[in-house]
RNA sequence: GGUCUGUUCGUCUAGGGGUUAGGACACCAGAUUUUCAUUCUGGUAACACGGGUUCGAUUCCCGUACAGACUACCA
């Protein structure tokens, strides 16, 4: 059986889109499952669109989500270089081969001449003017010009492109692993430019040549490539590489959460979720886009979420580690239809992965946040906080954001709760409780509770009636984790201080 | 406009000629939690439409509608 070699081949034209990460993931899963090789190739044949830093960004993003590159940019390998701009000399020789075999030709038409041709055809009623088997005979190319003229133009260094000579009548067939047989008539394909006038190949040529040279066995890419796949098939055929042609799998697109259309950065911005794996600062606009990493998504959760966008194992299991994904993955189970991007599901996966962590691991997240705030805290205390906060967080940063009261006494109180729960009974109980606390030798959740119950029963007031008021004075809010545990963690002295402060500031308001 | 691809609950999807069309997320309700969250239980909710083929179609075929992609010397 053929050795499995797959590639992820992004262009460094900006940040890596989350859809690109999924494409990389599917490639990676297949490679790992079939003991193959995962290759990273950078398709930077368009110098105009090159964005500095994009390549580094791609590398970092893949590393963060755990997609390991076996060969290619950043790691090297037997088919180096893996950056197409560095492979420039390779492509012309294959273009030449196509010209020599009569499957491609030189075209000297200028932008203006092309424009004139399109206009002329449009007025003649052709909806979509193309450079094709019919129109090429009216243009300036090596098919219409005399051999001598062509030679002179080339020697005079006249700018030219190399175009594929697409046959007029031919059924081009392609067996896609996801979509089955796809047939396109060659009359629908135009004479695509293979080599640009700057000497760089276009995607089509570079892609086919490199996939062949790098012995790629499977091309897994986005559905946007499906329309040009027949063209690639033609290229393999004319280059004499039909037997080596990789298997194709065209992935369904990622769609925007509401409405229709493919997922764009705009949608993500509007709905307030990331679309890039890690933070990206646009070098031109200096605009910063928050990444999934910085937003608090765990890489393993993101991967699990992404894997399920368009694929499923056919079982009820939903939580999959990377190793489990590698085992369960199969191209056959990839869906055909476009997939709407639902950030809720991503959050749910994140929660699941976060909860599976130990208190100690969660404590590290909290400690991270605290160090940014210059707050010191022992590991033990952080772990204790983590243990009572673990069921109520979606992101690691929630530990701090929802638990600030562990470190800062409230300065304001939720007015809604205060107006409903802060009453004479509450004040009576809190005053008595405050007096009772100093007599306690030890202070923990059980004693805090027992003492409170003792006070309330002596006063003949139901504990439940005033618990909200107590919570309000300790945390400033009406909702939160187990109050007795909270008090244990912040300690007796702090509890007393907070009750006193609340009594002082809230009494005035309610009176 | 043309070509290609697609269409099962709001979303991700399972399924497949005869099923109470299954699960998950989200949503709603109840229970637990004297709060909130969690957890548990339950609920709402789908085969785009029209023709065939068939005893029978959501499933197969053909149309239609809708959607998306592509239609550059961008990838």
Q: Residue A294's domain spans which residues?
A: 1-73+252-356
Directed axis angle between helix A299-307 and helix A18-33, to 10°?
80
Which of the following is catalytic: A68, A237, A265, A497? A265
Q: A455 and A495: one domain?
A: yes
Q: A416 and A478: one domain?
A: yes
Q: A474 and A484: one domain?
A: yes
Q: A383 and A425: one domain?
A: no
Give me the CA A8–C1' B49 separation in Å, rounded: 40
Q: A459 and A378: one domain?
A: no
Closest nucleotide to A467, Cα to C1': B34
- Among all protein residues, pick the one whose CA is nearest to the C1' atom of B33: A482
pLDDT of residue A507 exceeding 80: no
For position A176, which CATH number holds? 3.90.800.10
Residue A225 lies in a domain: no
Residue A302 lies in a domain: yes
Closest nucleotide to A161, Cα to C1': B73
Distance between first and last Cα of chain A: 85
Q: A306 and A329: one domain?
A: yes
Report pTM.
0.94
pLDDT of residue A263 exceeding 60: yes
The pLDDT of residue A267 is 85
Q: Count Cβ atoms below 10 Å from residue A332 Cβ, excluding itself.
A: 10
For residue range A50-87, list pLDDT tens digits in order: 999 999 999 999 999 999 999 999 999 999 999 999 99
What whole-number distance in Å separates Cα of residue A127 and Cα of residue A489? Answer: 74
Closest nucleotide to A318, Cα to C1': B24
Residue A425 lies in a domain: yes
Give me the CA A424–C1' B31 separation in Å, rounded: 32
Structure tokens at A116: 């004139």
What whole-number distance in Å separates Cα of residue A493 and Cα of residue A1? Answer: 73
Query: What's the average model confidence in pLDDT over A148-175?
Result: 95
Reported ipTM: the value is 0.94
Nearest to A3 by CA among A86, A82, A78, A91: A78
For residue range A313-366, list pLDDT tens digits in order: 999 999 999 999 999 999 999 999 999 999 999 999 999 999 999 999 999 999
Residue A213 lies in a domain: no
The pLDDT of residue A420 is 87
For residue range A265-285, list pLDDT tens digits in order: 888 888 889 999 999 999 999
Q: Up-side HSE of residue A149: CA atoms within 13 Å toward CB? A: 10
The pLDDT of residue A259 is 66
What's chain A's average pLDDT?
94
Three-state DSSP state, A169: coil
Give me the CA A161–C1' B56 separation in Å, rounded: 61
Q: A338 and A436: one domain?
A: no
Q: Look at chain A and report how many structural domains it folds into.
A: 4
Residue A234 lies in a domain: no
**Per-residue exposure over A104-130, b if at least 16 CB sit within 10 Å of its own CB, e if not:** bbbbbbeeeeeeebbeebeeeeeeebb
Give me the CA A339–C1' B16 separation in Å, rounded: 22
Q: A140 and A46: one domain?
A: no
What whole-number distance in Å separates Cα of residue A499 and Cα of residue A181? Answer: 74
DSSP A471-507: HHHHHSSS--S-HHHHHHHH-HHHHHHHHHHHHHHHH
Determine contact, residues A409/A501, Cβ cutoff 8 Å: yes
Structure tokens at A68: 């390991």
Residue A214 lies in a domain: no
Q: Count Cβ atoms below 10 Å from residue A157 Cβ, excluding itself.
A: 7
Residue A511 lies in a domain: yes
Residue A502 lies in a domain: yes
Determine contact, residues A237/A189, Cβ cutoff 8 Å: no
Q: Count Cβ atoms below 10 Å from residue A196 Cβ, excluding itself.
A: 17
Give me the CA A354–C1' B75 separation in Å, rounded: 37
Give me the CA A363–C1' B34 separation in Å, rounded: 29
Determine contact, residues A7/A216, Cβ cutoff 8 Å: yes
Closest nucleotide to A255, Cα to C1': B68
The pLDDT of residue A508 is 63
Give me the CA A395–C1' B32 separation in Å, rounded: 26
Q: A371 and A419: one domain?
A: no
pLDDT band, very low/low/confident/very high, at A506 (cuts 50, 70, 90): confident
For position A430, which CATH number holds? 1.10.10.350
For residue range A218-228, list pLDDT tens digits in order: 999 999 999 99
For position A387, which CATH number holds? 1.10.8
Q: Looking at strand B, which nucleotides approach a protein CB closer than 7 A? A: 1-8, 10-15, 23-26, 34-38, 67-75
pLDDT band, very low/low/confident/very high, at A467 (cuts 50, 70, 90): very high
Q: CA A449 from chain center: how many Å?
A: 47
Q: A345 and A374: one domain?
A: no
The pLDDT of residue A384 is 96
Q: A262 and A346: one domain?
A: yes
How large a percentage of chain A has pLDDT more than 70?
Answer: 99
Q: Does residue A465 have an active-site annotation? A: no
Give me the CA A262–C1' B28 separation in Å, rounded: 31
pLDDT band, very low/low/confident/very high, at A303 (cuts 50, 70, 90): very high
Q: A365 and A388: one domain?
A: yes
Query: What's the average model confidence in pLDDT over A181-209?
Result: 96
SS (H, E, C) A240-307: CCHHHCCEEEEECCEECCCCCCECCHHHHHHHCCCCECCCEECCCCCCEECEHHHHCCCHHHHHHHHH
The pLDDT of residue A180 is 92
pLDDT band, very low/low/confident/very high, at A175 (cuts 50, 70, 90): very high
For position A314, which CATH number holds? 3.40.50.620
Closest nucleotide to A346, Cα to C1': B25
Query: What's the average model confidence in pLDDT over A144-152?
Result: 96
Closest nucleotide to A185, Cα to C1': B3
For residue range A394-452, list pLDDT tens digits in order: 999 999 999 999 999 999 999 888 988 898 999 999 999 999 999 999 999 999 999 99
């Amino acid at each position: 059986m053929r050795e499995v070699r797959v590639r992820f081949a992004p262009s460094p034209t900006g940040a890596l889109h989350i859809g690109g990460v999924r494409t990389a993931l599917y490639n990676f899963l297949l490679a790992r499952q079939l003991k193959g090789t995962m290759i990273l190739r950078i398709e930077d044949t368009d110098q105009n669109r090159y964005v500095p830093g994009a390549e580094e960004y791609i590398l970092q993003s893949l590393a963060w989500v755990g997609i390991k590159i076996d060969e290619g940019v950043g790691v090297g390998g037997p088919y180096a270089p893996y950056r197409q701009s560095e492979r420039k000399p390779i492509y012309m020789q294959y273009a030449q081969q196509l010209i020599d075999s009569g499957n491609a030709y030189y075209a000297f038409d200028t932008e203006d001449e092309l424009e004139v041709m399109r206009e002329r055809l449009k007025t003649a009623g052709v909806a979509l003017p193309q450079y094709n088997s019919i129109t090429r005979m009216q243009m300036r190319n090596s098919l219409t010009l005399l051999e001598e003229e062509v030679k002179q133009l080339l020697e005079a260094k006249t700018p030219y492109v190399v175009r594929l000579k697409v046959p007029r009548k031919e059924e081009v067939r392609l067996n896609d692993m996801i979509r089955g047989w796809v047939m396109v008539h060659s009359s629908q394909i135009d004479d695509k430019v293979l080599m640009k006038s700057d000497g760089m190949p276009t995607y089509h040529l570079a892609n086919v040549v490199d996939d062949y040279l790098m012995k790629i066995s499977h091309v897994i890419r986005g559905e946007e490539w499906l329309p040009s796949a027949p063209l690639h098939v033609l290229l393999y055929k004319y280059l004499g590489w039909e037997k080596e042609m990789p298997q194709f799998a065209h992935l369904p697109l990622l769609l925007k959460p509401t409405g229709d259309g493919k997922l764009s950065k705009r949608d993500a911005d509007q709905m307030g979720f990331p679309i890039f794996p890690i933070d990206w600062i646009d070098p031109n606009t200096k605009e910063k886009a928050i990444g999934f990493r910085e937003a608090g998504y765990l890489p393993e959760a993101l991967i699990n979420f992404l894997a399920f966008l368009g694929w499923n194992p056919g079982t009820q299991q939903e939580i999959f580690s990377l190793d489990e994904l590698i085992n369960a993955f199969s191209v056959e189970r990839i869906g055909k239809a476009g997939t709407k991007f639902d950030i809720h599901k991503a959050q749910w996966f994140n929660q699941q992965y976060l909860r599976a962590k130990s208190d100690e691991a969660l404590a590290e997240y909290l400690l991270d946040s605290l160090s940014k705030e210059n707050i010191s805290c022992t590991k033990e205390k952080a772990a204790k906080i983590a243990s009572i906060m673990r069921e109520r967080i979606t992101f690691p940063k929630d530990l701090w954001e929802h638990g600030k009261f562990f470190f800062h006494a409230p300065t304001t109180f939720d007015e809604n709760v205060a107006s409903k729960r802060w009453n004479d009974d509450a004040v009576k109980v809190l005053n008595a409780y405050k007096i009772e606390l100093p007599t306690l030798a030890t202070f923990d959740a059980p004693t805090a509770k027992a003492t409170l119950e003792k006070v309330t029963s002596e006063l003949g007031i139901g504990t439940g009636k005033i618990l909200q008021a107590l919570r309000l004075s300790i945390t400033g809010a009406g909702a939160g984790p187990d109050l007795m545990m909270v008090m244990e963690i912040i300690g007796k002295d702090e509890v007393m201080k907070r009750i006193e402060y609340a009594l002082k500031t809230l009494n005035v308001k309610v009176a």
